[in-house]
Structure 1
Amino acid sequence: MLTALGWSPEQLLARVNQRRAQRGSLPLHAKTGYPWLRNGRPAAEVRPDVLAVLSYYSERPVTAAALGWDRPRSRRQRPLDRPYEATATELLRDTQGEVPMQRRSFILLSGAAATAPALDLLMSGSPLLRAAHEGDRVSKQLTTTVEQAVRQARELDDSEGSASTLLWAGGIWQNLGKLITECRYGTAEGLRLHTAHIEMSETYGWMLFDAGHHPQAQRVYQTGLRLAREAADSPGAHQATVNLLASAAYQESWLGQYHEASALLDVAENRRPQSLTPRLRAVVEMRRIALAGQTGDTEALRRADGQTRTHLALARDSEEPYWSLWLSPSAVDAQTGRALLAAHHPDLAEAYLGGRTVDDAEGYPRDRMLFASELAAARAQTGDVTGAAHAARKALTLAAQVGSHRVHRHLDAVTATLRQEHESHPAVRELLTDTTRPEQPPQP
């Protein structure tokens, strides 16, 4: 009908809004009509206005049945339901709804569905994501502000964990997607915005993973990977993509999806390997340590541990991404210890985990709390109940600073085991007293 009338959807909406204005109703957005051309339909309160306008200008009655609006609505899959088939633009737009990401419902992806966006990074020829032709222009100053916000989100997660920061970080991620799809910007600003979104996808995805929102974290990771494939190539975007792949692989290892984790790490290593800095190589090998521990492959674990330390020793921090500076020799010790514990070698794990929780400088309380609770588990399994209770108490002292559901659940599991198996032990009784004592208000 629009073709017969010679109208665009915007022209139809302009006439519909004229009719709505006559009775004092709010106007509809000029782009509202486009979904009606793709098997959508107007809302119930809008439909009579649309039909009246079409009937008036076509000079014949137009009914809902004539336009197919009387049939049951077929459920349309959203791009986030099938991120392995969608483009970056589709995914970015599908994240811009009113419901926060952690409150949306998705199924957990596995197999080829989980790895497809990563494997696509190995293919060339993808069309580049373009800025909008219309819309406000993104200035250099705004681009710098976006980059600062992304960095602050990561620092906040490192210092506090995910629980209290999800809404704020999700807003940054969502609004950055809106800038990319709805605004105009030059090539230089586009590269920076795309890189910032990939970095923010890693940070926000990690927060969702840390809070136990695993399907949502996968969607965030995969949206970042789709954008990485369609973004213009640059060292910063490539480095951020490698880090994103490594974090996505860590989540897959945690979920027991070992084949998928290995595939993600292979892509991280084999996509432009000449561009990998020593610290980036160390980050990837660090995630291989975790994977080897989960699969019980102690030979691969020791090999990855050695490679991580070799790469780390070659790094010149002034030439490395800021987000890779958390990786230190003691962090490698802690990850290796945790992996050995997962591989059922608590005696070997204890030596690695002890140094992380005792000798590390202040900072990264979530990691320190996690590895202190892992140390408690290792000592409990080797029969050192006093040492286990001491490590659990150390984790408990960090608990008030950490908003990570994942780490708190781990500490709860360790203390529950100590209670069930060693409740009469003096050190365990003292620990259990600490865990049940009501929190004291801060002193003036």
Structure 2
Amino acid sequence: MTASHESPLRTHMTALGWSPEQLIARINEVRRKRGASALHAKSAYKWVQGRQPSATTMGDIVAVLHLHRGLRVTPADLGWDGPGRRSHALDDPYNVTAGELLLASQGDDMKRRKFVLLTGSAVTACALDLLLPAAQNLRSALDGDRVSTSLLANIEASVRRSRELDDTEGSRPALVWAGGLWSTLGQVVTRCSYGDAEGRQLHRLYIEMSETYGWMLFDAAEHARAQRVYLTGLRVAREARSDPALHQATANLLASAAYQESWLGHHTEAGTLIAIASGRSDLSSRVLAVIAQRDITIAGRRGDVDGVKRATARAHEQLGDVSRGDPPWWSEWLTAAAVDGATGRAWLALSRPDDAASYLAQRANIATSAYPRDRLLALCDLAYARLQVSDPVAACEPLDQALDLTAIVDSPRVAGYLDDVIRQLRDTSCDHAKARDVLRKATVEHRRASGQGPLG
């Protein structure tokens, strides 16, 4: 931006002799007085380059200019009144408070809005803030309805049930219900009154629900919405009171967010998130094992052979250590076989199907009916590995079993993977009877799933 077309905000800053960092320091003084979290020291650079801040931050800037220049300016005076230029908390989750995000995510706004994927610091900034001392700005409503012990027990049961539904049926059937629970829980956090003990439990439950709902959105290929849910949970974690159970829930949310970023090919962001997840000293061994299990897949996707080996060793070591901490309920799914499955999946990503095969065969054989989506994914992995070593007949057995599970598991992520593996089998032009049977069965299942009815 040339001097003749300098932004109005830059003009005010020049008159005051301020750098962007000095402006932010003054804004944060204002925010502290009203109990809001501090903005990042570099936030002002994008404003002087023409980007519009959130409505709340606009108010802070106007207040600072009035205080230090004695001028009554409006957002319009600063060039922030153009049509379609208004910011929204969910569009910029870093530069707003947890309370603003909670309010923005209530109701149908999450469903109606069209979000774009975030990358770079827009994804990692909320997580990096967790490395700073807790802000503890999230408070209950003084005049709101009281959160009782029985209400908390019911919320806890509902959060657990939502995860169980996702594990047993896939993301799609319970997605609307889980979204409603997540939104309603946000209203309880912002509109009800509660003491410190109730607040710790309530905030921990919100973070657990954010991880579950975010994972369901990721599994349903709603990636941009999943990001907003994860980042809202991280903002709550930043401003909630410090608590070991909350720290464990936050680490799990970070690990799931990292897994999604890896799936999307955002390897730098995934690495940052997983490193922050494992950085706390008060995590139980099982939680550390969960993080390491996610890190196995992340390392494989970014092409890091040594990283896969280190993460696998760390996951098995932590899983075998029962002396450190009390494992949370949501970590019960992790087993040595699940770690091996992640290792096999990582070798597949590294184009080493021979190394993957033994891990994946063991995982597919041990995967239980309690987690049918996980078993379906393991079977797809095994079939894919066998196709990669040019053994289409051997791939037919796991594919046949996987097709049986599609009647009970509705997971767009895994269904897309299964379709890709079936397509690869078809491309081999294998004329074996097993291959013909599997391809015929796949056609029937596809018609059933799409509501077309049986073949005439």
Q: Sort the TM-score into its range (normalised by shorter chain).
A: 0.7 to 0.9
- Shift, 1:135, TM fit: 2.0
The answer as to whether partners of 2:189 and 2:203 remain within 8 angstroms in 1 is: yes
Task: Describe the SS at the equivalent of 2:320.
Answer: helix
Task: Quote the residue 1:58 is aligned against.
Answer: none
**1:88 to 2:98 alignment:** yes
Partner AA of 2:114 in structure 1: S
Output the aligned Cα RMSD.
2.1
Larger mean Cα displacement after TM superposition, 328-337 or 119-128: 119-128
**Offset from partner CA, 1:297-341 (integer Å, 9 cap, x none):** 112101110110011011369921010010001101111111110
The answer as to whether partners of 1:336 and 1:352 remain within 8 angstroms in 2 is: yes
How far, CA to CA, are the matches of 1:74 and 1:364 in structure 2?
Answer: 45
**Offset from partner CA, 1:32-57 (integer Å, 9 cap, x none):** xxx9xx99xxxxxxxxxxxxxxxxxx
Task: Describe the SS at the equivalent of 1:314.
Answer: coil
Partner AA of 1:348 in structure 2: D
How far, CA to CA, are the matches of 1:408 and 1:342 in structure 2?
Answer: 18
Task: Quote the residue 1:337 is aligned against.
Answer: 344
TM-score by length of 2: 0.78
Q: Percent identity?
A: 49
The answer as to whether partners of 2:367 and 2:374 remain within 8 angstroms in 1 is: no
The answer as to whether partners of 2:284 and 2:325 remain within 8 angstroms in 1 is: no
How far, CA to CA, are the matches of 1:210 and 1:316 in structure 2?
Answer: 33
Task: Quote the residue 2:439 is aligned against.
Answer: 432
Residues 318 and 403 of structure 1, relative CA distance in 2, 3 Å threshold: farther
- Shift, 1:176, TM fit: 0.4
How far, CA to CA, are the matches of 1:129 and 1:223 in structure 2?
Answer: 13
Task: Quote the residue 1:106 is aligned against.
Answer: 115
Q: Return structure 1 stretches of 4+ with deviation > 6 angstroms.
A: none
How far, CA to CA, are the matches of 2:111 and 2:288 in structure 1?
Answer: 31
Residues 215 and 136 of structure 1, relative CA distance in 2, 3 Å threshold: same
The answer as to whether partners of 1:104 and 1:216 remain within 8 angstroms in 2 is: no
- Shift, 1:436, TM fit: 2.0
Equivalent in 232, 240, 247 of residue 241 of structure 2: 232
Task: Quote the residue 2:381 is aligned against.
Answer: 374
- Shift, 1:359, TM fit: 2.8
Task: Quote the residue 1:249 is aligned against.
Answer: 258
The answer as to whether partners of 2:136 and 2:241 remain within 8 angstroms in 1 is: no
- Shift, 1:98, TM fit: 2.5
Task: Describe the SS at the equivalent of 2:278.
Answer: helix
Residues 154 and 317 of structure 1, relative CA distance in 2, 3 Å threshold: farther
Partner AA of 2:354 in structure 1: D
Partner AA of 1:219 in structure 2: R
The correspondence of residues 12-411 of structure 1 with structure 2, limited to 5 A, is 75-99=85-109, 101-124=110-133, 126-270=135-279, 272-273=280-281, 275-315=282-322, 319-411=326-418
The answer as to whether partners of 2:134 and 2:241 remain within 8 angstroms in 1 is: no
Partner AA of 1:252 in structure 2: E
Q: Rg bigger for which structure?
A: 1
How far, CA to CA, are the matches of 1:103 and 1:409 in structure 2?
Answer: 25
- Shift, 1:144, TM fit: 1.1
How far, CA to CA, are the matches of 1:165 and 1:263 in structure 2?
Answer: 30
**Offset from partner CA, 1:128-170 (integer Å, 9 cap, x none):** 2110122211111111111111011011111111011110000
The answer as to whether partners of 2:341 and 2:378 remain within 8 angstroms in 1 is: yes
Q: Paired residues, what number?
A: 372
- Shift, 1:180, TM fit: 0.6
How far, CA to CA, are the matches of 1:156 and 1:439 in structure 2?
Answer: 22
Residues 325 and 403 of structure 1, relative CA distance in 2, 3 Å threshold: same
Larger mean Cα displacement after TM superposition, 248-257 or 73-82: 73-82
**Offset from partner CA, 1:262-287 (integer Å, 9 cap, x none):** 111111122x32x0111111111111
The answer as to whether partners of 2:369 and 2:375 remain within 8 angstroms in 1 is: no
How far, CA to CA, are the matches of 2:90 and 2:366 in structure 1?
Answer: 44
Partner AA of 2:94 in structure 1: Y
Residues 187 and 318 of structure 1, relative CA distance in 2, 3 Å threshold: closer
Task: Describe the SS at the equivalent of 1:319.
Answer: coil
- Shift, 1:423, TM fit: 4.0
How far, CA to CA, are the matches of 2:323 and 2:402 in structure 1?
Answer: 32
TM-score by length of 1: 0.80
The answer as to whether partners of 1:294 and 1:343 remain within 8 angstroms in 2 is: yes
Gapped regions of structure 1 (runs ≥ 5): 1-34, 40-70
How far, CA to CA, are the matches of 1:360 and 1:207 in structure 2?
Answer: 20
